[in-house]
Chain A
Amino acid sequence: MEIQLKDSNTSDAASLAVHKSPAVEFLERFFRSNSAIIGLVLLLILVAAALFAPVFAPYDPYESNMPNALTAPSSAHLMGTDELGRDIFSRILYGARISLVVGVQAVSLALICGVVLGAVAGYYGGKVDTVIMGFMDVMLSFPSILLAIAFMTVLGRGIDKAVIAIGIVSIPQYARIVRSSVLSVKENVYVTAARAIGNGDGRLIFVHILPNVLAPIIVRATIGISDAILEAAALGFLGLGVAPPTAEWGTMLGSGRQTIFNAPHIVTFPGLAITMTVMAFNLLGDGLRDVLDPRLK
């Protein structure tokens, strides 16, 4: 082959395609995914319920009305009343606040710790990796709810403590995903290129590697919120989460279980609320996976 030395031509191939930023492209793909849209709509309903609970709630969620206890759903009480005569619909609206906050906070905590630990383990490898991931594997070897209960007994009762316990317990899941993604992404030539132009380790990890492992992390975190809400509800059900008068779905389930045979609505509606929330986040997560997975593009 003879290479002809002629004038360089600028038009390698005319790229006439309209310029689209990744954000625009993401939104277009997002609104083509049915499960993502359903998940988002359910989530918006929940957020609205939580934000405007005082507006929508027909009764004070903490006001007991003993003569009116355990009434079945009616036009006066949309979802009936509980063993103390409190309006269940109002309590569920207020409970949405706690569940969403617990879910988001616990996942944020787990995400921050998990991303840093996983990125460091994956990027540096060797002994650092062995130590960090060994510790994560030890945590993973316990059932997470058991570990959370153990943390709660040490930390004490309360919503903030439940957040910490659930957050810590779910760190390993994020650390593992981030580590494995970092391991593959750091082998890319563009990471070497970034090093060649003078990036330090910190910028390499946070500017060049992590943005490219975002997709699996976002998907896991979305589904992780529903796990955290379930775990918070389980802790509440076991009497370890939020202290009783507070309207929290798990606690409502727990206190309603004695009357499950003569007033099944007490457990039905908090259960449905939990199911709906978990489903909203799972659908959203599934949809995001479809949108963000480059293999499906």
Chain B
Amino acid sequence: MSNRDSNLLTVNDLRKHFPIKGGLFGRTVGTVKAVDGVSFSIKRGETLGLVGESGCGKSTTGMMVLRLLEPTSGDILFEGENVAQFNKSRLKDFRRQAQIVFQDPYASLNPRMSVGDIIAEPMILHGIAKGPDLTKRVEKLLRLVGLGPHHGRRYPHEFSGGQRQRVGIARALAVNPKLIVCDEPVSALDVSIQSQILNLLVELQQEMGLTYLFIAHGLNVIKHISDRIGVMYLGKMVELAGGDELITDPWHPYTRTLISAIPKPQPGQKSNRIILQGDVPSPANPPNGCRFHTRCPECTEICTLTEPEFKQRNGRFVACHHV
């Protein structure tokens, strides 16, 4: 994780704790540990997938990487510089380098702005283009994401979900960024549209040399486009490995259950679906020891007592006592 040149982004021990206000005077009565010590790095041109169920902190991690949420502690090194300590003007500069595509294309576009204005705004803000050059760039971006120049005059409500997501991608590309955080960019779309958007993202990556932090709640989407995959559970990363390795040879019991949840392409094919018992524990009061031990089919005594380290083995990372 130390090679500074090949890593575009390195995240060290990132944490986000939300205070729970309660009582008569709004005292802090507890904290929700949404993200509790996550570390990973992304190489240039790579796609790192981040999976985990709802509430495991994967979106929070993505938002913190872009400083759309302030981290409680931890370092976010982008090209060797700590994003967590950027002031306002450095942050604005950083926004030119790192962008985001949101989950819900119906909510992420301002309904009062035309699509052309939405795509033009980042270029105006960063002084990238103006006048006829701006118009030309907007048209180019629209074409790049598979829309036509005539779409620029329309408003978001006139588009379908897939088309809106294309607009969201064009907006992210407008500043010609190096890193794009894709926060579940296809999970709000129809299955038939999902593959189109995923293909578009892959094509754009190859064309523009983009680096993706790709967040998803299931492995079925992420396994196709990720070079490496990180699995999160309850605010922590439990396993991080190359995409193929992780799918074919998962080490962590939680990863195994996620893989068993991928739908099988042939009906009737025998599946060894592992069904977990109980619910995810509350991140305000996570269990002692291994966070997964309350639901782990392979839990032993040590799991309830000490928290496993997130350690490297054969080039992959895993946090489990039994590996």
Residues of A within 8 A of B (CB): 1-10, 12-13, 15, 17, 19, 21-22, 188-190, 192-200, 203, 208, 211-212
Contacts and interface: CB of A to CB of B under 8 A. Distances in A.
Interface of B: 63, 66, 68, 88, 92, 95-96, 99-100, 102-104, 107-112, 121-122, 125-126, 146-148, 153-155, 158-163, 166, 168, 171, 174-175, 191, 193-200, 202-203, 220-221, 224, 262-263, 265
Nearest to B110: A190
A149 B124 CA distance: 49
Contact of B125 (A1, A19, A190, A197): A197
Contact of B107 (A5, A17, A21, A190): A190
A206 to B, nearest CB: 12
Name the 4 nearest CB pairs between A and B, nearest first. A12-B162, A13-B160, A198-B95, A197-B122
B112 A4 contact: no
A183 to B, nearest CB: 16
A283 B160 CA distance: 37
B155 A208 contact: no
Contacts of A190: 107-111
Contacts of B265: 1-2
Contact of A12 (B96, B196, B198): B196
B163 A12 contact: yes
B108 A8 contact: no
15 contacts: A2-B265, A3-B194, A7-B199, A9-B196, A12-B162, A12-B166, A12-B193, A15-B160, A194-B121, A196-B100, A197-B95, A197-B121, A197-B125, A198-B92, A199-B121
A3 B195 contact: yes
B68 A3 contact: no
Contacts, number: 110
Nearest to A211: B112
Interface SS, A side: loop
A208 B110 contact: yes
Given A12-B163, A15-B160, A196 B263 contact: no
Contact of A22 (B96, B99, B155, B195): B155
Contact of A19 (B96, B147, B158, B162): B158
Central interface residue in A2, A8, A17, by most chain B CB within 10 Å: A8
Given A5-B202, A10-B148, A196-B68, 16 more contacts: A1-B262, A3-B194, A3-B221, A6-B195, A9-B196, A12-B161, A12-B196, A13-B163, A15-B163, A19-B153, A19-B158, A193-B168, A196-B99, A197-B121, A199-B121, A212-B110
Contact of A15 (B111, B153, B159): B159
B200 A192 contact: no
Given A3-B224, A22-B155, A196-B99, A8 B112 contact: no
Contacts of B155: 21-22
A15 B104 CA distance: 20
Contacts of A199: 121, 125
Contacts of A3: 194-195, 198, 220-221, 224
Contacts of A200: 88, 92
Contacts of A194: 110, 121
A211 B114 CA distance: 13
